[in-house]
Structure 1
Amino acid sequence: MNTEMLDKVRHEVNGRLDQKNKSKLGQFMTASVIADYMASLFDKNTKNAKILDCGAGIGSLSISAIKALKKVALVDQWEIDPIMQEQLEKNMKMVGVNFSIYRQDFIFGAVENIRSGTGERYTHAIINPPYKKISSSSAHRQELRKVGIETVNLYSAFFALSIFLMEKGGQIVIIIPRSFCNGPYYKPFREMMLNECSIEHIHVFESRDKAFKDDDVLQENIILKVTKGKKQDEVEISQSTDHEFHDYQTKKVAFADVVKPNDSEVFIHIPTGEEVNENNPLFAASLSELGISVSTGPVVSHRMTEFLEKDLTDDSVPLLYPHHFVNRQFQYPKEHKKPNAIRVAPESRKWLMPNSGFYVIVRRFSAKEEKRRVVAYVINPEEIGREWIGFDNCWNVFHVKKKGFDERTAKGLACFLNSTLLDDYFRVFSGHTQVNATDLKNMKYPTLETMQRVGESYQFSMEQKQIDQLLGVVNEFGTKITTSC
């Protein structure tokens, strides 16, 4: 079956799928050009290859792997959608290899296989796993725990189980969301993957909406190749603007540039261009060395509805949301479907923070269409005018022992966080729109002296170019600051 015919079938089947079920199962089908590229990453010296394709769809990935590897002993495919199963069987019969289709949930089947020690072990896996969160109390999570897997999404669950089902030296090529590379929820999965496998290759699509353009998917995806039980060496990093690979570029980097030595969070960085040099004086100190902490905003609004108020009253204090800021300027109160205030009571006060000093806050979620991942604001205590302040859970809050701090440090910190330098650095290890407190804790920051000097010149109304010029002076001259910009 040629590429053109396979893509025609894929479009036809995609149109027949139940859209509600498609969302429920996290089904996003792979274009042949991507499938062929993924298969090209396999080493070609394997005889009698045994291929695993879990979440096989109509078999695009399997067919590409068969063409690339040539000497294939068997292909095991897992697919639970009846429409997909029908077309998958037709496609595989046309290819003419020994194949089996398992018409059951891969998680339950794989866990049984692993626990019993029976079933096949594979030399190759090529995977486009489903993308859907799984709750901590779900049947899937309970099943995964039986084999020591703790993860929060179907895609990482499929990946983890595939690793357990590989022979030593087995190769996995997978297209997955980049979100597993950082953040606390995927840390157990990252640790397991790095303990079991070496990272061989990472491919990045610069345009986040092209890999699964037929399904309007905006999640940033990467293609990853790992080898089970192989000693870690250099990592090949490649990139292209989109799924056509016309402007394909590649380079090799040291593994220490991908996973930093002694990083307790084992974040996975993807250095694709002129990377930020962490010897830069702007990356000089950890938050703990600065005496500054960052925490998620303590007010979880849906759990405190009885204390929320539309407008500020004598017994309430401001409750801040992102809509209270426009172009980094504070606008309060503001007509909105969300409340402006939270009532102070013995039950609510423990979730409030004292209005003492300046706070810096960063949104936890940025819109997909926004250019920046990190957006910071400064809270001036005079603009609050009350003894307490409420920060919704949508914020990351920088504080000193749960209180605000001095104005110069706050403004300097916000300037650094709003710089292109920091945004570029952050994107090396973050491929999703969420900014976690753990991410912010794991970064390096300017010294207090540098931040305070920057803070003397920083203005909230500055354009991006002015912010970058201000930080650029520090970049070139250490802590020297001029106000000419």
Structure 2
Amino acid sequence: MEKRQQPITVKSIPGNPPGDWGESLLDFAHRAGRLFVTGITRDEQKAAGQFMTPPKIAKFMARRLVQSVDLPHVRVLEPSAGGGVLIAAVVEALLEKPDLPASIELLLYEQDQRLIPTLESLCRSITEVCTAAGVRFDYVIRCEDFLLSELALRGEPVEGLLTIANPPFFKLNKASDERARRHAYAVYGQPNVYGLFMAATARLTPANGRWCFIVPRSWMNGRYFKAVRHTMLRYLSMDSLHAFESRRDSFEEDAVLQETVIAWATGRAVRESGLNVLFTCSQGVSDLDQASVQAVPSERIVADDGDATVTLPSEGVSLMDAWSATLASHGLKVSTGPVVAFRCKEYIRAQPSHDTVPLLWMQHVGQQEINWPVFKKLEHVRATAANAWTLVVNTPMVLMRRFSPKENPRRVTCAPYLGTLPGAVIGLENHLNYIHRPGGRMSLSEVRGLSALLASSVVDRHLRAIAGSTQINAGELRSLPLPSMNIIEAIGCRVPEFPTLEAIDAAVEAELGPSATVRTVAA
């Protein structure tokens, strides 16, 4: 069929406030979705994990999804349809192709019955548009939880299926939530519902199918999403990624504070080598059209190991690619502070006494400095035989916050601790990580150098590429590539006692070369 030249528009939508004549399918769906969101409370929206996709992003997702699709009969699944923005964008993108499909079938799942009339109205308008274009259109709307649907639980590929989704995101209790139990193949630790949507739809994707999700970045690394990644990569071959660097500019109407990515994939019949992933990156929606494109070998994106970590690339070759050492090879270990406050209430004190030692909390650790006491916390802990298991040897170590705001200039907030507080042991609260040498002692230059390196721009770029959450994962630190200990100590000898980030980068550059601190594209 020849491409239809008239613009894709609808007149008015029965059962909803009428829009302007000539309103597009996408504009109607967006308007209807916004009307729904403004009619519920913020708490209701967060509880449902319901955040509507902006039209420009929906169009961006849909066009890349259907770009290579030339099937005469297209099936489209939206497992969390909301107001229908993504479905409207996919239909518009299909009708803009030079060769129109003979038929389009939609299967929509939406659990909130208040949105069903909107979806019905949208599908009636799509029917009119497709009829005018000479394309047969059929649709089914199911008011049920997709994850508990027969389709999702059966998990068999559907011929010619295109899946597009902006799923809800909230944590599930794996022991009591039926969705987590029924999709146990994709569950580890505390699952998030959006990961189950990704895994369940991956199983439905055939070799001639396509798949596209917009989701937080947290699925790309860490143990909690390991089973999700393995399921996805079993059924999908990832071919495109887009990263939004800003936490605020991708879902600006809903003020979503998440680092977000869009992933596109093709159903995988066999594993192929030598494939590239198209990678684009923007701050948010406003500069989406200006995002440059990189073609990155897939092995640089998806780790071929047991963790299957997905990493956002930077331009060029990373300096860290040449580093082969790790904390373990340097005889170092990263541990989590053993003092869990609510379990150790009987030992924690506001005032010092003859049997207490300093207790450090996250608030005591700033970027390259430790401030204790600050007189705003219970800053002392008893050192007795009863609670000895909660204390650590008072020796030089690197202390770091386990959680660091993403707006901070560097992902890691850490400081060299030189063992100067009083006592043979000290307390470290559970929101701190510490790097130490078990059975030995780190030198002052090792502590200063490693702390500076972790806060440097070269390591910051690496961590932002692999980590999409605010948590500084101990597993990521254990696998972090490091240079030789001679270089780390040399950096430690160069940095001043209380170095700025600029002074840190200058010291790293002096030891590693100018390429260490060149700013590259990373999310």
**Structure 1 length normalisation: TM-score?**
0.91
Whole-angstrom CA distance in 2 between matches of 1:185 and 1:149: 7
What CA deviation, in whole Å up to 9, does each residue of 1:45-78 have, x standing for no partner?
1221111101100111011111222434311111
| Partners of 1:52 and 1:122 within 8 A in 2 | no
Shifted more, 64-73 versus 204-213: the winner is 64-73
In the alignment, structure 2 segments of 5+ residues that lack a partner are 1-9, 11-23, 96-100, 128-136, 516-523
The answer on 1:86 being equivalent to 2:107 is no
Whole-angstrom CA distance in 2 between matches of 1:433 and 1:289: 27
| Partners of 2:365 and 2:401 within 8 A in 1 | no
In the alignment, structure 1 segments of 5+ residues that lack a partner are 479-485
- SS of equivalent residue, structure 1 residue 86: helix
Q: Aligned match of 1:31 in 54, 58, 83? A: 54
- SS of equivalent residue, structure 1 residue 51: strand
Whole-angstrom CA distance in 2 between matches of 1:185 and 1:119: 25
Structure 1 pair 331/166, CA: closer, same or farther in 2 (3 Å)?
A: same
Shifted more, 226-235 versus 136-145: the winner is 136-145
Structure 1 pair 253/391, CA: closer, same or farther in 2 (3 Å)?
A: same
What CA deviation, in whole Å up to 9, does each residue of 1:434-456 have, x standing for no partner?
11000111111121111122222
Instruction: State the partner residue of 2:31.
Output: 8
What CA deviation, in whole Å up to 9, does each residue of 1:314-373 have, x standing for no partner?
21221111221345322211121x311222233421121111x20102211112332211
Instruction: State the partner residue of 1:249.
Output: 292
| Partners of 1:49 and 1:69 within 8 A in 2 | no
The answer on 1:163 being equivalent to 2:163 is no
The answer on 1:364 being equivalent to 2:407 is no
Matches within 5 A, 1:141-220: 142-145=180-183, 149-150=187-188, 152-220=191-259
Matches within 5 A, 1:82-481: 82-96=113-127, 97-109=137-149, 112-116=150-154, 123-140=161-178, 142-145=180-183, 149-150=187-188, 152-230=191-269, 231-232=271-272, 233-244=275-286, 245-261=288-304, 263-274=305-316, 276-280=318-322, 283-336=323-376, 338-355=377-394, 357-382=395-420, 384-401=421-438, 404-476=441-513
Instruction: State the partner residue of 2:19.
Output: none
Give 1:312 deviation, angstroms: 2.5
Whole-angstrom CA distance in 2 between matches of 1:352 and 1:402: 15
What CA deviation, in whole Å up to 9, does each residue of 1:81-109 have, x standing for no partner?
12222212211211113111111112111
Structure 1 pair 141/348, CA: closer, same or farther in 2 (3 Å)?
A: farther
| Partners of 1:108 and 1:143 within 8 A in 2 | no
How many residues matched? 470
| 1:50 aligned partner, one-letter code | R
Whole-angstrom CA distance in 1 between matches of 2:179 and 2:496: 48
- SS of equivalent residue, structure 1 residue 65: helix
Whole-angstrom CA distance in 2 between matches of 1:149 and 1:180: 12
What CA deviation, in whole Å up to 9, does each residue of 1:122-181 have, x standing for no partner?
610000000111123231454334556547111111111111122233211110111111
Shifted more, 62-71 versus 214-223: the winner is 62-71
| 1:20 aligned partner, one-letter code | D
Whole-angstrom CA distance in 2 between matches of 1:62 and 1:95: 10
What CA deviation, in whole Å up to 9, does each residue of 1:412-448 have, x standing for no partner?
1011111111101211111222110001111111211
| Partners of 1:78 and 1:104 within 8 A in 2 | yes
Give 1:118 deviation, angstroms: 7.9
Whole-angstrom CA distance in 2 between matches of 1:471 and 1:218: 32
| 2:364 aligned partner, one-letter code | H
Whole-angstrom CA distance in 2 between matches of 1:35 and 1:60: 7
Structure 1 pair 78/252, CA: closer, same or farther in 2 (3 Å)?
A: same
Whole-angstrom CA distance in 1 between matches of 2:514 and 2:461: 21
Whole-angstrom CA distance in 2 between matches of 1:236 and 1:473: 34
Whole-angstrom CA distance in 1 between matches of 2:248 and 2:75: 33
RMSD: 2.2
- SS of equivalent residue, structure 2 residue 445: helix
What CA deviation, in whole Å up to 9, does each residue of 1:173-201 have, x standing for no partner?
11011111111211121122222211100
**Structure 2 length normalisation: TM-score?**
0.85
Instruction: State the partner residue of 2:88.
Output: 63
Instruction: State the partner residue of 1:482.
Output: none
Whole-angstrom CA distance in 1 between matches of 2:344 and 2:455: 31
| Partners of 1:239 and 1:272 within 8 A in 2 | no
| 1:167 aligned partner, one-letter code | P
Instruction: State the partner residue of 1:483.
Output: none
Whole-angstrom CA distance in 1 between matches of 2:201 and 2:34: 27
| 2:162 aligned partner, one-letter code | H
What CA deviation, in whole Å up to 9, does each residue of 1:389-424 have, x standing for no partner?
111111121111276522111111011111111101
| 2:384 aligned partner, one-letter code | A
Whole-angstrom CA distance in 1 between matches of 2:443 and 2:88: 62
Give 1:279 deviation, angstroms: 4.3
Structure 1 pair 191/116, CA: closer, same or farther in 2 (3 Å)?
A: closer
Structure 1 pair 141/302, CA: closer, same or farther in 2 (3 Å)?
A: farther
Structure 1 pair 74/347, CA: closer, same or farther in 2 (3 Å)?
A: farther
Whole-angstrom CA distance in 1 between matches of 2:321 and 2:184: 44
Instruction: State the partner residue of 1:481.
Output: none
| Partners of 1:319 and 1:341 within 8 A in 2 | yes
Give 1:44 deviation, angstroms: 2.6
- SS of equivalent residue, structure 1 residue 73: strand
Structure 1 pair 118/275, CA: closer, same or farther in 2 (3 Å)?
A: closer
Shifted more, 97-106 versus 116-125: the winner is 116-125
Structure 1 pair 373/14, CA: closer, same or farther in 2 (3 Å)?
A: same
Instruction: State the partner residue of 2:64.
Output: 41
| 1:271 aligned partner, one-letter code | P
| Partners of 1:74 and 1:98 within 8 A in 2 | yes
